[in-house]
Amino acid sequence: MTNSILVCYVLREFVLYSRKGRTDSKFKSLREAGRLDLVHECIEASLFVSHGIRRNVVFHALLSGPPSPPLHLHIDGATLRNVYTDQETWKEILRKVLSGKPHPGISIDKTSFEALLKAKANKAPIYVLEEDGKDVLEVNIGENSVFVLGDHKGLPKKVEGFALRYGEKVSLGKQPYLAASCITIINYLLDRRAII
């Protein structure tokens, strides 16, 4: 007789809307590439722990900069390999994938922000991070959640309005935090709730 164990795999997703993130590989530094340095910081906050990768996290960046927006960067922690946390490594990885070359766990496609959120709304609750939302500590965040946030300038009003058709606005407090810090806080809170 064989014993079977039911494993409940909880997925956590972060969606970053990057207003000016460059959509080709022609750049010298991430900062000069429509602030892809911020995208890198959010990738690091989403996926990395000390000496490891969060295998239950998926990170999305919707790049809206030149020359051919939108571009959807999809990073799956379950299959991500051959990476480090430093910016130089990620500059080369992003250059590679933006030029059409593969990297384990990373893909690029032309999915729009709207199409991505519509697809996610059918599968998981969506939380839009904004200072004036409901206190995150008062929200019963469930498993398999999707968190939407903007870059250093926040979400454009039109984008935020669309996201709120499918999700609930939640806040980490009145103090504005960097996007990567918001992701770190969410990961910490969910880790403490033992959702993973």
Residue 98 in domain: yes
Could you tell me the pLDDT band of residue 195, with boundaries at 50, 70 and 90? very low
Looking up tokens 């990170």 gives 59
Residue 2 in domain: no
CATH number for the domain spanning 90: value is: 3.40.1280.10
Rounded average pLDDT over 4-31: 84
In terms of residue numbers, what domain contains 79?
Answer: 12-192
Domain count, the chain: 1
Percentage of the chain beyond pLDDT 70 is 93
Residue 77 in domain: yes
| Beta bridge mates, 38 | none
Q: In terms of pTM, does the model score above 0.85?
A: yes
Residue 117 in domain: yes
Residue 3 in domain: no
Give the pLDDT of residue 179. 97
Task: Label residues 103-128 b or e (16+ Cβ within 10 Å = b).
Answer: bebbebeeeebeebbeebeeebbbbb
Could you tell me the pLDDT band of residue 9, with boundaries at 50, 70 and 90? low
Residue 7 in domain: no
Residue 17 in domain: yes
Q: Residue 194 above 80 pLDDT?
A: no
